[in-house]
Structure 1
Amino acid sequence: MQAKSNALPYWLCTPGALITLAFVALPLVVTLSLSFFPFVAGGATGDHLTLANFIDIGSDDYFYTIFLRTFGMALVVTAICIAIGVPEAYVLSRLSPQWRAISIVIVLGPLLVSVVVRTLGWAVLLGNEGVINKMLLAAGLINEPIKMMFTFTGVVIALVHVLVPLMVLAVWASLQKLDASTEQAAESLGAGLFTVLRRIVFPQVIPGVLSGGLIVFSLAASAFATPAIIGGRRLKVVPTTIYDEFLGNLNWPLGAALSVILLFIVLAVSVGVNRLVERRYRQVFQ
């Protein structure tokens, strides 16, 4: 006799599924559909479907520059977060429970403050009359202020500060599953610290590095507040361009098309890197 299926788990999942559908899936579908309508002067949209918005984006070098800048910035931020976050997470995993709790609070400190407040703090630090330039001038290390506001470097610095805690958390979670006996065995065989880290520790935390890198890359590519405040009007990226098209030019279809392209590129990169690293990871440990 076939057992009767229990529908309770499905009913329990229904509220969450409906909320996801209403606040995530439905807006994405509306944005996708809006991208296929033409723009009419005055902020209106046409009543027929067209690929004109995507053709305009693909045929304009201006948009190529913006997309290259956006994803180049995201790659640089991700690489720096990995370089900072992996050693920091390893140190955290080796601290005593008391110092680890204090250190985690310090690491998570930036996440407890609004991204706008953090970015405005960096604007105060990076300005020509900011704290950093004043300290360097007072120390005699520079003769004139270093331009850091409205530059690529300034945006990268602010984004790294915002996103590096996410990398630390992802790698630290992987380190919790690390078998300490493998490190002790390598050390007993004469392996040095860097050899242990390179041959034993890092290969086992690749999943954490991958997940953290994908999170950082996605958030850096789609960041709006930090590039808008630190980069200003001189350093355009895709999210600020989308904002200008929606609220500045009232060209909602073009803004929707840019949003769709940004979403699909981020998803494609995330899925591609995930499969590539997982394939190599399985080959190494099989």
Structure 2
Amino acid sequence: MNPFLLAAPALVLFGVMLVIPLVMTFILSFNSFGFYTGIEMTFGLHNYIDVLTDDYFYEIFGRTFAIALVTTIICAIIGTPIAYFLTRMRPFWRSVMVLVTLGPLLISVVVRTLGWAILLGNNGVINNALMGIGLTTSPVRMMYTSGGIVVALVHVMVPFMVLAVWAALQRQDPATISAAESLGARPATIFRRVVLPQAMPGILSGSLIVFSLSASAFATPSLIGGRRVKVVATTVYDEFLNTLNWPLGAAIAVILLVAVLVIMVSWNRIVERRFAGVFQ
């Protein structure tokens, strides 16, 4: 049977659920909006010009990408050792740890974020504990900050990094670690000189997944950041549902999509050139 026929149902679903909405959003971004007339079927670049010439939007995009970058770095620092330990565990304990690692994915991101809101609030668990042991006399502001968003996003995104790195480490040759141990290398040296280079493909794929999901995240920044810390996703939401300026919201969404794609492709090429020998 023709392989294209086998893939036809998936391609149709992909087109209906993703391609068509993206095309409609792209077309909408060229329309105009009037407070009394609503959406006007015009064609122009005025929405893109408004976004690209306004420092307000530059600040929002900069904050969004900074949060996504910090989240990706922290997830790589946390997820890579966890994935390495998973490869060294016995099957029973590995299954237990995989379940623990994937556990957060079984819970709605909204529920997880509300849990962090309870922890990070001025009267939350963390502040009550800090004041209870005398480390601070007043609540530390963690809600409605970029740092609070990063903490909550790391909890959401770490499983994706662990899975990507673990999949890469499963393809490594165990003899390389045994050889390093027989030559007297310390565990830290083995991890840095042997394991880490072989884990780079997984770190790359995991970082791309985490960065793209973090840059486009809505629920976590909306609940933790609130109205004080706006990111691109919450700005698009406001334009669509608050001001009802759908064309401007569509233009912001398209710019975010293009920016994330450019960053991901550039990062992919840089890492592949730097670690060309590892990927071969």
Scaled to the shorter chain, the TM-score interval is: over 0.9
- Find the partner of 2:34 among 29, 32, 40: 40
- Find the partner of 2:257 among 256, 263, 275: 263
- 2:136 aligns to what SS in structure 1? coil
Q: How does 1:164-183 map to 2 (within 5 A)?
A: 164-183=158-177
Aligned letter for 1:252?
W
CA contact (8 A) 1:43 1:252 kept: no
- Find the partner of 2:184 among 156, 180, 190: 190
Match of 2:209 in 1: 215
> What is the CA–CA distance in structure 2 between the aligned matches of 1:43 and 1:188, rounded to whole Å?
76
- Find the partner of 2:129 among 125, 131, 135: 135
Deviation of 1:16 (Å) = 1.0
Q: Which runs of 5+ in 2 are unaligned?
A: none
Q: Provide TM-score, normalisation by structure 1.
A: 0.95
In the alignment of these two chains, the number of paired residues is 280
> What is the CA–CA distance in structure 1 between the aligned matches of 2:29 and 2:37, rounded to whole Å?
14
Match of 2:156 in 1: 162
- Tell me the alpha carbon deviations over residues 195-215 of structure 1, each in whole angstroms, 9 at most, x when there is no partner: 211111111110000000000
Match of 1:27 in 2: 21
- 2:275 aligns to what SS in structure 1? helix
CA contact (8 A) 2:78 2:158 kept: yes
Match of 2:200 in 1: 206
Tell me whether 1:62 sits opposite 2:56 in the alignment: yes
- Tell me the alpha carbon deviations over residues 220-242 of structure 1, each in whole angstroms, 9 at most, x when there is no partner: 00000000000000000000000
Tell me whether 1:76 sits opposite 2:76 in the alignment: no
- 1:45 aligns to what SS in structure 2? strand
Moved more, 136-145 or 202-211: 136-145
- Tell me the alpha carbon deviations over residues 169-210 of structure 1, each in whole angstroms, 9 at most, x when there is no partner: 110111111111111112222222222111111111100000
Moved more, 197-206 or 237-246: 197-206
CA contact (8 A) 2:200 2:278 kept: no
Deviation of 1:284 (Å) = 5.8
CA contact (8 A) 2:122 2:142 kept: yes
Deviation of 1:142 (Å) = 1.2
Q: Which runs of 5+ in 1 are unaligned?
A: 1-5
Match of 1:107 in 2: 101
Deviation of 1:97 (Å) = 0.5
Match of 2:90 in 1: 96
> What is the CA–CA distance in structure 1 between the aligned matches of 2:4 and 2:79, rounded to whole Å?
39
Give every structure 1 segment of 4 or more consecutive aligned residues whose post-TM-superposition deviation is greater than 6 Å: none
